Amino acid sequence: MEGMDANVALLAIFVLSIFVGFEVVSKVSTVLHTPLMSGANAIHGIVLLGGIIVTGAADGALEISLGLLAILLGAINLVGGFVVTDRMLEMFKPKTKPAPARESGSDA
């Protein structure tokens, strides 16, 4: 790694992340498309960190106000995203009663 340009390192991270991103979601059943979209949506809420970084370094009133707005929006995205995804997935949990035992087929 010695002497690796910082920009090249970031580029490498970027490119590898693209492949990982493709790989982890290949072969998802349509049943999970909605929760997956919602979960991915929550993950980009991590933009909250960016809001904290710029606001932490800001001194002008305009910059601070915009920064606080960014933090507010980022937190809504992050927290709301994970909570709503959890609510969707809550319903996929296996029922405590043995559901398949109920005969639902023909009476032959």
Q: Please tell me what DSSP assigns to residue 26.
A: T
* Min separation Cβ 4 and other proteins, Å: 14
Is residue 2 within the footprint of other proteins (CB under 8 A)? Answer: no
* Three-state SS at 32: helix
Is residue 12 within the footprint of other proteins (CB under 8 A)? Answer: no
Which of 3, 4, 8, 104 touches other proteins (CB under 8 A)? 104
For residues 46 and 82, the answer to whether their CB atoms sit within 8 Å is no
Residue ranges in the chain assigned as alpha helix (H):
6-25, 33-43, 47-57, 61-75, 81-90
* Min separation Cβ 2 and other proteins, Å: 16
Give CA–CA dist 44/85, Å, rounded: 13
Which one, 4 or 53, has the nearer CB to other proteins?
A: 53
Is residue 90 within the footprint of other proteins (CB under 8 A)? Answer: yes
Which one, 3 or 26, has the nearer CB to other proteins?
A: 26
* Structure-block tokens of residue 48: 């909250």
Which one, 3 or 24, has the nearer CB to other proteins?
A: 24
Is residue 50 within the footprint of other proteins (CB under 8 A)? Answer: yes
